[in-house]
Structure 1
Amino acid sequence: MTAKEAVPVRDDGRAEDDFSIIEPVGFTPVQVESGGRKLLLSPRALIIAVCLLLGMLALVYLLVARSLIFETQPADADVSVSGLALPLGDGHLVLPGHYSYTISASGYLPKSGEVEVSSDGHSRHVVALEKLPGHLQVISDPPVPVRILVDGNEVASENGLAKNIPAGTKRITVVTDRYLPYTREIDIEGLDNTQRLQAKLRPAWANVRISSNPPGATVTVEGEVLGTTPLNAELIQGDRRVTLSLPEHKTVEIPVAVTAGVDQTLTPVDLSAADGLLHIVSTPEGASVTVDGEFRGHTPLELELSSGTEHQLRFFKDGYASVERTIGVDAGVERDLNIDLNAVYGRVRITSSPANAQVYIDGRLAGTTGETFNLPARSHNILVRKSGYEDYETSVVPSSKLKQTIRAVLLTAEEARWSNIPAEITNPAGGTMKLMRPNARFTMGSSRREQGRRANEVLRQIALDRPFYLGTTEVTNREYRRYQRMHSSSHVNGVSLDNDDLPVVNVSWNDAARYCNWLSERDDLKPVYLIERGEIVGFDAGANGYRLPTEAEWAWAARYERGAMRKFPWGNDLPVRKNSGNYADNNAARLVPAVLRTYSDRYAATAPVASYSANSLGIYDLGGNVSEWIHDLYTIGTGLSMRREENPVGPQNGDYHVIRGSSWRHAGLTELRLSYRDYGAEPRNDVGFRVARWVN
């Protein structure tokens, strides 16, 4: 306001002269102290900023959060989730991550677990709570102590209350003494609730009338005394054993089948007089005792004998004369009986070869062979012993009426060993093999002067002493087909070579060797023939398995007889003897170019094995029928060396194997001779084989 402005007038008309004039002053800004705080926002602005921040956080939470929903059984169960979990409808809103949860409901066992919530989607889980067990109160009629079974298993109960029964349909059985089981299916609702079951029990007994002649017998059932006859007894249902006993009478036990509620009267039981007791001793002890022909034991012995009758007793013991007695006993009376048995002797003469051997009887030295021994008439062990020989052992029962003789043939250790090796065996295919024990020195082959001789029959000096088994016949089609089921020996111009009992043909040497290895495997023996990559590459001369016979073994078995070598299967001279083998005869005229016109063997081609006589060793068809594959590789010697060969097994190298013996195709002098040798490797319709085996 300036000085020219009007003077204010008051409402009462007076000028405000009495008031001071307001003078303008200079502006001075407020000074802020150094280091103090300056309030940038008002409280209202701060509140707004906080609200905006929370809203943004809530928005981000809503965008990132996923729903976690639990479907529970029961549906009203309480769900608790760890961490930041916002209840939302039927579930919770949570950030992705790992959470623990607990679900609980009244009457159910709480359940806890862990879930993983991913950012890919919502998480939904079904959780069923297990009901708490229930309780069952059984009220029985009549009110008796009961036991409670749930599904067949007894559970603990007190005053008829069974606690903690799992919820569900259960088969409840109420059992108690003297009543029938009561069974009912109950739906146990659980939830810690107690249910009631009214059980009306039916009696499990029946009234049984028991009587005896004479009366007054004590009645016992399963150890419990019920009273004396006559008696009305309540017996529990089932198969019962009722025992009646009366002094001086035999105790009687009778079976009674009791049905609950069905009363019955038993037939009166007749009680016979009690047995007497007989105490028996004998000298010596151990005598056998029979009563009326029935064996009752050995002395000393207590016998219960029926009273009022006589019994025939017989006493006997090895080495003693039997004794018979007639005995009677009174009811309930005990008697003693002493029996003396008299020894009985028999004479036994013991001899031996060689003589003067020691004789042991029942383990004690009794004398030497050549003596006669007086022995009790019972079984004795006899052992005859001499230095350098195996013991001879036998047993004998001497007789008082007959003098006996025992002759002990003593064997050396070697003889005893061979006596335990069977003279004949059967191989796994069913073929029979005989034990050969050669101890021979002979010349194999034939002289240059022998008519029909071939150049390959060079003379060789042989020593043969290694024992072996040799097949009595050639391997048949039946035996070979156990190894090769589909093998066929085929036919010749319609004449069959394939029947079961005919010798197998059309097999190579390798086929025969593989068959031998197959036999070895079946008998758990070490195979002789060595096979690599499916090929036979050699043999093991120390193996104990089956094999083909060596040429030396075949020649010895076919030709050697009393120190000489036979020329033909039937002897040393022509013509062919009747029934001596299967060769090319008139029956084979349409199959082969040359035949024996004056000989008939009844077969056009092969004949069943063992159709003709065996040789002196019991071996069939070493000449005729089919020629045979031999173990040895084929070679021709020079004949210049006279060195004796010990148990030869053939050369180490060669392309072919030896074939020995004539066949159904042969009629010439050369082939009919037992020294005839052939060779080959491939199958032929007139070549078969037999098997051999060393004895180790």
Structure 2
Amino acid sequence: MTAKEAVPVRDSEPASEDASVIQPIGFTPAPVATGGRKLLLTPKAIVVASCLLLGALMLAYLLVARSLIFETQPADADVSVSGLALPLGDGHLVLPGHYNYTISATGYLPRTGEVEVSSDSNSRHAVKLERLPGHLQVVTDPPVPVRVLVNGAEVSSTEGLASSIPAGRKRITILTERYLPFSKEVEIEGLDNTQTLTATLRPAWANVYITSNPAGATVSVEGRVLGTTPLTAELVQGDRLVDISLPDHKTAQIQVPVTAGVDQTLATVDLNAADGTLRVVTNPPGASITVNGEYRGQAPIDLALASNSRHELRFFLDGYSTVERTVDVRAGDLRDMNVELTAVFGKVSITSNPADAQVFIDGKLAGVAGQTFTLPTRSHNITVRKPGYEDYSTTIVPSSKLKQSVRAVLLTGEQARWSGIPAEITHGAGGKMLLMRPNAQFTMGSSRREQGRRANEVMRKIALTRPFYIGATEVTNREYRRFQRMHNSSHANGVSLDNDNLPVVNISWNDAALFCNWLSARDGLKEVYRSERGRVVGFDASANGYRMPTEAEWAWAARFERGAMRKFPWGNALPVGKNSGNYADSSAGQIVPAVLRTYNDRYPATAPVGSFTPNHTGLFDMGGNVSEWIHDLYTIGTGLSLKREENPVGPQEGDYHVVRGSSWKHAGLTELRLSYRDYGAEARNDIGFRVARWVN
């Protein structure tokens, strides 16, 4: 048995003295040296390692860094760069990136900015600093207060010192009272330096010798008193206004041109005696006054009159007698004059139609018409008034030598309205138009029993009440060519249809409508015809512009006379009346197949408008010369309707338009009648037109 296999000793059994006992051995730790843990590297090794690391970092910096160089003016300027920037020679060594810089130098404005340094190349920049402003001390001979101008603009200066002048070449001008301007080119150094400019000033005045008669007068220039005459005055060059004044005398003003350094002696100034003052009052006030024939104003007034002489005064006032006075005043005197005016009257007789109207004179009720009124001989406003009528007003100046009369014709409201509408006007193309005021009921068309009647002349009951203007003649070539400059009406077998005073022909209905629209626009009126791309597609019956006559208007103007309808332009029976119009007469035998053998109007084709006698309404060529385009679209009724048509204008849609009236080509009974109707749309050499428009 080994020692490790010893049997444990039981407590209950006493050990034998001979038995061997194993005793535990106490543990004692090994001793540890004091002073902390032992370092792995010595201090010397750490220093070496740090130097190697720093050298590696510097080598890496040198490999990555780029040079940043500023070329400055001035060259000795200080350059400061933000961040890690190592000064190196004329520049700095920096890593790629953005840097702020400041460049400054004594006498210059500092400059700051930002640059970017790339990793590809070094960075070089040229920077020029701006010089600080300079100062200029102006010294004058003689020493006087001055104003300083730099390049023509005045700058602030104190005792001749002008501060903060930008550097560079400047034109310096020195201004001062009583001396000529001094000017010189100066190079301003800047750099906050003060330079001195010496200016020798030349006098800007001349000596002027002034005398007056009488002497002792006060001399002043521009409100500054210089002394009393006789006087030698120093006047600054230029045109000077010299005042010479003396009590009880008129002040004399003399314009003196002064040149610097050129002395002069003025002619002796004679001072006249001062005016006297006449204070004039009239009863009643407001009288006009003339002095020695010269108008001087209205009373009350203070009149300045030359002293020691006589003056002729006249006083005028409407309704009063003229008064004449003679007066003289002494120098400096103030006199009063009161003038009593005498009223003058005249007689005015006022009558009216209708009688018994009230008479108002100058706005006040004076009586009734049929009386004679005594009125002052001045302008009066006369108004004659009666219920149901428009006022009649006029102005009259009664005369003391002649009795005057006023006859007032009073108009109803309707009459007054029409009195303001002209009976004749001229449209923009130069044609004359007449006012028509129809108030008629008539039957348009013709009876089936009428000889020569055509089937389209259906009878229609018409009420025409709307007033209108209508062309006194057909539109001429001259008038139409103001719209279409190149229009040519051509000729008929060699006979010209194109002369200026002949009616325009060879135009379509659409051409005539567009002429009307052009004329409306020219005269500032609303166009009647609606058009699209040069084609008329409808009309506006409420428009006030120019148009062609409606068929009802044409029929009324051509036929209606004293309640009846004419059959022919010259009357109601054949043969054709002498000089009654331009038809296919004997002179047209070479142009048209059928002619009136016993009639000669002297024109084989168209005739100048207005060549024949007008009809009963004052219109020319309502029969003959050319047929006329009508506003209405062409329709044919079925018979005489019981319904009366009021101011008809025709339908809005259709293919053809009505043609009315005979032409130079017509000689047959059918065409010569005023009820003859034709139709068409295209141009013909015997169809023209006349214009019309409603009166609103």
Moved more, 530-539 or 196-205: 530-539
Residue identity matched to 2:269: V
Q: Secondary structure at the match of 1:543?
A: coil
Q: 1:522-581 CA distances to partner (integer Å, 9 max, x unpaired)?
A: 344332222346543322212222222100011111222222222222333334344433
1:241 aligned partner: 241
CA distance in 2, matches of 1:85, 1:423: 102
Residue identity matched to 1:618: G
Q: 1:182-206 CA distances to partner (integer Å, 9 max, x unpaired)?
A: 1222232322222222211111111
Q: Secondary structure at the match of 1:546?
A: coil
Q: Secondary structure at the match of 2:303?
A: strand
1:590 aligned partner: 590
- Work out whether 1:349 is the aligned partner of 2:349: yes
CA distance in 2, matches of 1:283, 1:130: 84
1:54 aligned partner: 57
Residue identity matched to 2:266: L
1:21 aligned partner: none
CA distance in 2, matches of 1:549, 1:120: 93
2:13 aligned partner: none
Change (3 A) 1:32 1:471: farther
CA distance in 1, matches of 2:589, 2:79: 108
Q: Secondary structure at the match of 1:505?
A: coil
1:195 aligned partner: 195
Q: Secondary structure at the match of 1:683?
A: coil
CA distance in 2, matches of 1:118, 1:570: 110
Residue identity matched to 1:47: S
CA distance in 2, matches of 1:421, 1:122: 95
Q: Secondary structure at the match of 1:139?
A: strand
Moved more, 607-616 or 332-341: 607-616
Change (3 A) 1:210 1:573: farther
- Work out whether 1:455 is the aligned partner of 2:455: yes
Q: 1:338-379 CA distances to partner (integer Å, 9 max, x unpaired)?
A: 111001111111111111111111111111111111111111
Q: Secondary structure at the match of 1:137?
A: strand
- Work out whether 1:522 is the aligned partner of 2:522: yes
Change (3 A) 1:179 1:33: closer
CA contact (8 A) 2:538 2:653 kept: no
1:675 aligned partner: 675
1:331 aligned partner: 331
CA distance in 2, matches of 1:529, 1:383: 46
CA distance in 1, matches of 2:324, 2:69: 101
CA distance in 1, matches of 2:97, 2:296: 90
Q: Secondary structure at the match of 1:242?
A: strand
CA distance in 2, matches of 1:98, 1:571: 111
Moved more, 606-615 or 325-334: 606-615
Q: Secondary structure at the match of 2:573?
A: coil
1:218 aligned partner: 218
1:507 aligned partner: 507
Q: Secondary structure at the match of 1:554?
A: helix
**Residue 35 (structure 1) shift:** 8.8
Change (3 A) 1:683 1:69: farther
The residue correspondences of 1:377-416 to structure 2 (distance < 5 A) are 377-416=377-416
2:314 aligned partner: 314
CA contact (8 A) 2:351 2:407 kept: yes
**Residue 653 (structure 1) shift:** 3.8
CA distance in 2, matches of 1:339, 1:458: 86
Q: 1:655-693 CA distances to partner (integer Å, 9 max, x unpaired)?
A: 100011122222333222222211001112222222211
Change (3 A) 1:498 1:113: farther
1:626 aligned partner: 626
Moved more, 32-41 or 480-489: 32-41
CA distance in 1, matches of 2:406, 2:556: 39
Q: 1:452-496 CA distances to partner (integer Å, 9 max, x unpaired)?
A: 222211222111000112122222333333333333333334443
Residue identity matched to 1:464: L
CA distance in 2, matches of 1:572, 1:91: 122
Residue identity matched to 1:669: L
Change (3 A) 1:233 1:656: same
2:283 aligned partner: 283
**Residue 175 (structure 1) shift:** 1.0
**Residue 124 (structure 1) shift:** 5.6
CA contact (8 A) 2:459 2:640 kept: no
CA distance in 2, matches of 1:508, 1:95: 92
For structure 2, which runs of at least 5 residues remain unmatched after alignment?
1-31
Identity %: 72
**Residue 273 (structure 1) shift:** 2.1
1:100 aligned partner: 100
Moved more, 113-122 or 622-631: 113-122
Change (3 A) 1:674 1:120: farther
Q: Secondary structure at the match of 2:322?
A: strand
The residue correspondences of 1:545-564 to structure 2 (distance < 5 A) are 545-564=545-564
Moved more, 165-174 or 251-260: 165-174
**Residue 119 (structure 1) shift:** 5.8
Change (3 A) 1:161 1:562: same
Change (3 A) 1:641 1:228: same
Change (3 A) 1:337 1:58: same
- Work out whether 1:362 is the aligned partner of 2:373: no
Moved more, 135-144 or 474-483: 474-483
CA distance in 1, matches of 2:590, 2:103: 104
CA distance in 2, matches of 1:162, 1:593: 108
Q: Secondary structure at the match of 1:281?
A: strand
2:46 aligned partner: 43
Change (3 A) 1:649 1:208: same
1:543 aligned partner: 543
CA distance in 2, matches of 1:180, 1:610: 83
Change (3 A) 1:653 1:232: closer
Moved more, 459-468 or 481-490: 481-490
Q: Secondary structure at the match of 2:553?
A: helix
Residue identity matched to 1:694: W
CA contact (8 A) 2:549 2:691 kept: yes
Moved more, 582-591 or 102-111: 582-591
CA distance in 1, matches of 2:84, 2:601: 112
2:180 aligned partner: 180
For structure 1, which runs of at least 5 residues remain unmatched after alignment?
1-29
CA distance in 1, matches of 2:623, 2:308: 85
Moved more, 208-217 or 318-327: 208-217
Moved more, 161-170 or 67-76: 67-76
1:144 aligned partner: 144
Q: Secondary structure at the match of 2:520?
A: helix
**Residue 582 (structure 1) shift:** 2.8
CA distance in 2, matches of 1:307, 1:611: 78
**Residue 38 (structure 1) shift:** 3.8
Change (3 A) 1:277 1:43: same
CA distance in 1, matches of 2:95, 2:474: 93
Moved more, 166-175 or 156-165: 166-175
Q: Secondary structure at the match of 1:42?
A: helix
CA distance in 1, matches of 2:89, 2:493: 101
Residue identity matched to 1:398: P
Residue identity matched to 1:452: G
Q: Secondary structure at the match of 1:519?
A: helix
**Residue 164 (structure 1) shift:** 0.7
Aligned positions, number: 664
TM-score, scaled to structure 2: 0.89
Q: 1:377-421 CA distances to partner (integer Å, 9 max, x unpaired)?
A: 111111122111222221111111111111112222222222222
Q: 1:292-347 CA distances to partner (integer Å, 9 max, x unpaired)?
A: 11100111111111123221110010111110112222233222211110011111
CA contact (8 A) 2:461 2:640 kept: no
CA distance in 1, matches of 2:125, 2:627: 88
Residue identity matched to 1:219: V
CA contact (8 A) 2:633 2:658 kept: yes
Change (3 A) 1:209 1:636: same
1:206 aligned partner: 206
CA contact (8 A) 2:64 2:119 kept: no
TM-score, scaled to structure 1: 0.89
2:15 aligned partner: none
Change (3 A) 1:103 1:34: closer
**Residue 505 (structure 1) shift:** 2.1
